[in-house]
Amino acid sequence: MPRIAVLFPGQGAQEVGMGRDLIGRDPLLDDLLELASAQVGVDLAKLARSGPARELAMTKALQPLLCALCLGLYRRLESAGLKPLAFAGHSLGELPALAAAGFCDDRTAVELAVLRGRLMEAQANQRSGAMIAVSPMGFEEAQALCGNRPESVLAVAAVNGPTQVTLSGDAGAIDTLVGRLRNRPKQARSPATTNELENAPGAQRECLAKAWSEASRVAAEGHSPSELQVTVLRVSGAWHSEHMREAVEPLRRAVEDAGLREGTFPMVFNRDGRGRTDAAEVPRLLAGQLTSPVRFDLVVAEFMRQGVTDYIEVGPGKVLRGLVRLSCNDPAVRIHNVTDLRAVARCVEEIGA
């Protein structure tokens, strides 16, 4: 019997044409898109089908659109008899995960995505922000780089695996950091430190140690001392940093007022990599995520601890496939991508749901 974890991607996974085979043919998805379009003031079905890419990337439109599309695809898997073990999402992906895990209905998740996108875009318009992805680099090294900077914002936005982090903050601070990193001499570096392992949740420590050990081995077999790869991300704001501070409390109140119920399945949260069905802490976790790192490394470590055999990434793109493999390179573990109806059928056949 496969042990299945369902994952939902976040902002950045989008592409023009996504959902083309579902939009206009799936009553659930069409209802969700109509709901969100009315609140956003944009025809989201048309935007998904035809773009343009610049408008598709608008945070206030993209977040509810991605949430709705992910849920439309997942409900097709569910109706085919898929029996997951647990759910998780990356950043925005936590909202479709919330509904799929049974904490709320789909319309509530999309309405929360509308609010989240609106709040985040408003904050991004207040300050010029930027983000970069850096590899190979671990969490503590990234934290040390950010340091204590009262004059500017610079923070770890995501830990995607033992050797990849995302940094976020003031555009000027990020630009200066990019120059420093690209001009830094090559040096041997470890993906993790003893402190990181000691501070990890007890049940996840063994899985994290295994992932980090494997990352170190791969680095040693490759180019060592290693050269940093620094990628400037195409984003409109400094997500998961203090730039989003004013969005936290309005989102927390909205999630609290949404009347969440106990989850039918556990959801593993970005804040701490712990699975929950109790809804009591969910408002704090979802809202606090806006200014805290996405600990996707801990999410995967928790699924490894649970013995997950199959990961299903539901939504456009294949970003999470690569992130899972940063921590889990067990060839027996399968990763399935469900981006359209054909992929739904293929996934069901491969898993034997």
Same domain, 16 and 115: yes
Same domain, 138 and 194: yes
Give the integer Cα–Cα distance in Å for 101 and 275: 11
Same domain, 248 and 226: no
Q: Examine the pLDDT at 224 and tell me if it is beyond 80.
A: no
* Other CB atoms within 10 A of residue 249 CB: 11
Task: Write the CB contacts of 154 (distance below 8 Å, at least 6 apart in sequence).
Answer: 145, 146, 147, 167, 168, 169, 170, 173, 174, 177, 241
Assess contact for 47 and 19: CB atoms under 8 A. no
Count of all residues that appear for the chain in the document: 353
For the entire predicted model, the pTM comes to: 0.90
* CA-based nearest residue to 123, from 245, 41, 287: 245
* CA-based nearest residue to 101, from 299, 217, 267: 267
Out of 194, 212, 232, a domain closes at 232
Averaged pLDDT, 270-286: 98
Tens-digit pLDDT profile for residues 39-59: 999 999 999 999 999 999 999
Same domain, 118 and 135: no
Out of 197, 232, 267, a domain closes at 232
* CA-based nearest residue to 11, from 115, 92, 128: 92
Q: How confident is the model at residue 91 (pLDDT cuts 50, 70, 90)?
A: very high
Q: Quote the DSSP letter at residue 338.
A: E
Rg (CA), the chain: 19
